[in-house]
Structure 1
Amino acid sequence: MKTHFPVLPDKGQQKSGNQILTVLTQNPETKYCEFDLGECRTDFLPLLYEMGRIATETGNLSDVLDVLLTLMQEHLKVVRGMVSLYEPGSGKIFIHKSCGLTETEVIRGTYDLGEGVIGRVVETGQAIVIPRIGEDPDIIARIPNRNARADQNLSFLCVPILRDGKVMGTISAERIYDKPDLLKLDVEILSILAATTAPAAELHLLELAQTRALEENRRLRSALQDRFKPTNIIGNSKPMQEVYGLIEKVIRSKTTVLILGESGVGKELVASAIHYNSCNADGPFVKFNCAALPESIIESELFGHERGSFTGAANLRRGRFEKADGGTIFLDEVGELSLSMQAKLLRILQERSFERVGGNVTIQVDLRVLAATNRNLKEMVDKGTFREDLYYRLNVFPVTIPSLRERGADIATLAEHFVARFSTEMGIHVERIAPSAMSMLMCYHWPGNVRELENIIERAVILSEGGAIEDAHLPPSLQVPMLSEIANSGGGILDARLGKAEQDMIVEALKIHKGNMTETANHLGLTRRILGLRMAKHNLNYKDYRS
């Protein structure tokens, strides 16, 4: 038979003389049950005081539990006692310290929420008393080697360790069965001990959670560092080898880096490789796209704002630079910033300090700045659309990422990498790219660079059948005759190359203008009629480029 006791410390009452502690029994009609502390050893209260002092002054849970278990053994005549803690992160309840238990019993003393008596006490926050362990199947089943006959006269008591309404764990005790009134009194005494233990238990669990969070953070950062090693970036062509060499040099310092290259070449990937292999790798890596937000809120996003600094600023907000303190901030599309924002950015590059919007307190930060753009900043400086002083502040260590057409030797490697990745992610069996399809990939001029190749392979994997990517699985923009086929049909190799170059230019212009014939003709300096004739020559249809 189990008896549940709500833990209500305010039901305890002080009485005069030796009748120090009185407890309400489970039956409301029963009179108070009184406990005479004079029957206890005289060092009970000093030990209780010492336990409270340690909990208050040091918060050391191990020291607190040493005194607690001594009190339980000497004054409550506990045969076995244990303190179990509940870790919300893992959802497990485990024995933290005990007396009278074997090593095997301690190892087995791990519970899920709601499992067994201890799990139910943690779940409900209410004490449970089992007058005779030998009659309870839950405990016997938990420890099969126990002798029900020997445990016939043992009682099991379990009370929650509560702190601000949250259950930190439990205190459990086994003692020789005595009068029911004394069991109820023991529950009250254990509840007092649990309340004294609660602050130290909360501190210990908080420190445990912080330690595990730091370990997980280190594990994730280590995984990112391995993932973004320069050697793990796909491509072994000579232009990429030069990029790897620059990355290896710049990671040794906190120098500002300007990453240049066309859209889709992998500038963010290079920025990640620089951060996760630098001395700032343990700090935050904050990314911000300067072209993604209206100018009116970019300042607040970058530098933060004080409460009430403008309409809608209900709370203080930390900006991206403040969040990146101790780490790296990556400013993508930096060429899209207005001249006024460029002036504000220049100051933080020079002084590493700023004020929040609406604030007057100067905030100092220690971070590395990585910037990227696909625009020609030097030309923008000449036109007056980009500050010259900011350009030189950003251009301390430029790294130019080559376009995919400049690293043709990497196309096959990248394509096979994407095939393996997407086939795994989608659960579609694709083993290879057919030679004719690979030739088409190698001959294409890739205006969208690596990002375009990635998207094309993703589409091809979805369409593929029979474990291989064929010509028909590639988009119309790649469906072009091979040079060898043109040459063999009667034209020379020069005509074949000129025809291929003409076709590439028309395809690229159609893509840029999304199949609009008038705009494509103007772009190429042709009339609509001449453009139509040349598209017919190359078997191109403007409708294929409308999406």
Structure 2
Amino acid sequence: MQRRHRGHPNAGKPRRLITSSPKIPHNSPLMAIEEIVTTGMPFVAEDIAKHPAFTAADLDVLGASDHMRLSFIGVPISIDEKVVGTLSIERVPDLDSMFPLDCDVRLLTMIANLIGQAVKLHRLVARDRKRLMAESYRWQKELLEFKQPARERKKVHIDGIIGTSPVLRGLLDKIAVVARSNATVLLRGESGTGKELVAKAIHELSPRAKRPFIKMNCAALPETVLESELFGHEKGAFTGALNSRKGRFELADKGTLFLDEIGEISGAFQAKLLRVLQEQEFERVGSGHTMKVDVRVIAATNKDLEGAVTKNEFRADLYYRISVVPLMLPPLRERRSDIPLLAAEFLKNFNCKNSRTLTFDQSALDVLMNCGFPGNVRELENCVQRTATLAPGPFIVRNDFACCHGQCLSALLWKSGLDEAKPRAALIGELTPTAVTPIPEAATPVAVLGPPVAAEPVDGNIVSGGKLTDRERLIAAMEKAGWVQAKAARLLGLTPRQIGYALRKYCIEIKRL
């Protein structure tokens, strides 16, 4: 800031504007600033030569002399009533003014207030920038970890879920992520894929792990009993209700409720369930008192809910409410590398319960690896227990399996489904008394196959084959099609997926033309 004094020999010289922080060095020539910081009030000295706050050293620093009279003005810079600095000037006083320094004090105070606001804004921006940078760094780190190959990521281990296949590892990674939230989860998959194990794993990895995990099979009870089981009832609500009883929702408060086979509930009950899922409140049967709960719902079904919604068998609003985070559980045929691990675990449990020391021979593992297992993990467990029970031991070999003697009921079940398709498609590989259970076409009904295309002759008729074996008939079709699987499938009246299964079954290497 500059001020001029008319007629004064130094009126043209600019004077200094000084800003300072609250911490003033002991040897500072402006010890008056300490008083500003301490009191939080402006400091004014009309003549610093006569003011006790200024020493001879201060006068030399400021340039005061007997021929130059200097005034000093200092004001505090405050943020939220806390002094964070000072703003001061020294100037040649205006002797003609009635109030020579008042205007300067007001102007300096306004400037100090603006500086204080700017410093406050700068600190807020710097703090937010630091927080945003920390969050950005954290998200980038998580993103990089997620993009790493599965083998480099930290593997998630869940008790009861066994396997190392890529599709299972991907499911376990999703479970670990989903468990951290409170979102409703819908488990989709065929029967026997372990939906209840996955639901329990989500609960145990979630913040609700120390709270109850309640499960309920919706298909096991009629609608009237199901309502009482889920919502509870009051004494005398219906015949046989001798006492009040808490429902599964009430028991699962602050925890997790697993609703298995949710696709089997009736339309009337779907509306009641929708309200609980949306509002987290319900009334016991026979009561008008509304109860509020905090429950995370995990539902499961092996039913085609989308088809059920299309046919008006399942409410669309309930479907959208339970399918917030859908998880698809892979069937066992899509994770065949896990079969030896699962079979070994099931055999270990059997040995512990029955005091046996059975082990699998390599031929036995080959049988298991080539089986379709339409019942998935549950069927594999039953197969191991059945074979171990009847095996003379100490090793389980190929001939110990029922399917190798044409006695596997599951194989007969799937054979009947395949036999119905024979008039429409020349199926490769039939069940014989010494054959292993064929791999079903992803449990897809044969009715979805298109009409067969007439086969072209290749050294005879490819379909009938004459004296050709199934393997030779398949090779002939592939040769005719130029080793294009889709074209060979049309020649045999099969789907490309069935051709793929057959090529793997007969160990036929595809030629690259």
Tell me the TM-score normalized by structure 1.
Answer: 0.47
| Rg larger for | 2
Structure (1 or 2) with the greater helix fraction: 1
Structure (1 or 2) with the greater strand fraction: 1
Tell me the TM-score normalized by structure 2.
Answer: 0.50
